[in-house]
Amino acid sequence: MHEIACQAALGPRSAAAVAQRHAIELTINRGCGIAALRDTPATQRLIRLVSDAVGLERRLSPAGRCRFAEAVQAGLQGDATLAPLLHLVRTAALQEQRGFTVHFAGLCDGAPFDLLLSRRGATAELACDTVSAEAGREVQRAAWSDFADRIEPDLQAWLAKHPGTHLLRLTLPLGLRKHAEEQAGAITPRMLQQCICRMLARGDRREDSPTAVLRLEPLPTMACRKDEQPLLTQIRNEFAPEAHLCVTTCPQGMLVMAARAGHDDEIGAAISRRMALLPPARLTGTRPGILAMLLEDTDRAEWRSLRERLELESEVRRFLVGSAARAVVAVSCSSRFELLDCPDPDAAADAELRFRNPDHPAAHLAALAPSVLSSL
């Protein structure tokens, strides 16, 4: 909780981003026994998942308990969360509901895969993995929140001397990352802050560089605070759905920042790249393998869009026809909307999106069908 508080201390936007990413840890810290926390279906499901995880730990051998403790500790370091551990617990429960006998091979035996599934004489290895949607974003949301909080005082001071309504367009060809080493050439929040402050101090309205293209334009005088939301909708439609927006207001006026990367987000491709690394490391190849992927750091609009545009389906099916997927009989994808398993219009209908590899020898085994047949 101390680390989460430090991450959120920069400003309100960073605090909101941290609260969203660490919602699981924050809810657990408030106490699963508090009646008020049982009001929402999502919270009730989280409490059940935590209870299931505790029950699992009590059934494990001493070696299994040590591995369980290591998984908990890994989820409480830096930006990590407990979602991967709860994803494992929830996936095991889902397979049991489908009629499989589930053995926690990773925890109990130290196997590279997490679960050994058995049903009607057939067996399969299942590996759970988590991918952040940030891996597919050129302009990362966490970095944008960091930047927006950093530059807020500078923009407030500039607005006080330049009354009116303004639009600052930012095109970031090489992306925005919290740390420069994450991607070659990407600009960091501090670097972008310095770049904008230099431009404003000179009185310029544009600046071009390999890492940031800036344009400062006037907005219609009617764009006052009460019209802020329609204005943001109009700007987002102009830039693209994944545009990053931020509004700074003061009595003298308003400044809207709108940022985009050099190309569209590629979240599906990020999942595909991650999956390509898993079979040799997480599956033995002696049994049919299933990859259960959890997509983190996505909101409901983005999750819905990924499915409606068939981006996930196309990337997973492209992976399944490649050589890296020889040991993989099926892939499933889910988000926190499915993890918390509550009625939600943006959750997948079958508790996950599932894609079968028709070329795998076990693809047509009736015993594996509940966890292998495509849900689309």
Q: What is the pLDDT of residues 65-90, one digit of tens each?
A: 999 999 999 999 988 999 999 999 99
Extents of the domains making up the chain: 62-135+266-372, 138-261
Q: Would you say 117 and 100 are in contact if contact means Cβ atoms under 8 Å apart?
A: yes
Per-residue pLDDT at 222:
46
Give, for 14, the enclosing helix (H) or strand (E).
helix 12-21
Determine whether 373 is exposed, middle or buried from the number of CB atoms within 10 Å of its CB (0-12, 13-18, 19+).
Answer: middle
Low-confidence ranges of the chain (pLDDT < 70): 32-39, 181-182, 184, 220-230, 240-241, 342-346
State the pTM of this model: 0.90
- Per-residue pLDDT tens over the stretch 292-305: 999 999 988 889 98
Q: DSSP states of 273-333 as a string?
A: HHHHHHHHHH--SSS-EEEEEEEES--HHHHHHHHHTTHHHHHHHHHHTSGGGTTEEEEEE
**Residue 173: which of 208, 122, 198, 128 has the closest Cα?**
208
CA distance 192 to 177: 10
User: What value, to the nearest 5°, has the Cα angle with vertex 140 and ends 257 and 85?
Assistant: 140
| pLDDT at residue number 225 | 46
Measuring CA to CA, which residue among 80, 19, 91, 103 is closest to residue 52?
91
Per-residue pLDDT at 252: 87
Q: In what order do the strands lie in the sheet with 353-356?
A: 101-103, 115-119, 122-132, 289-296, 328-334, 353-356
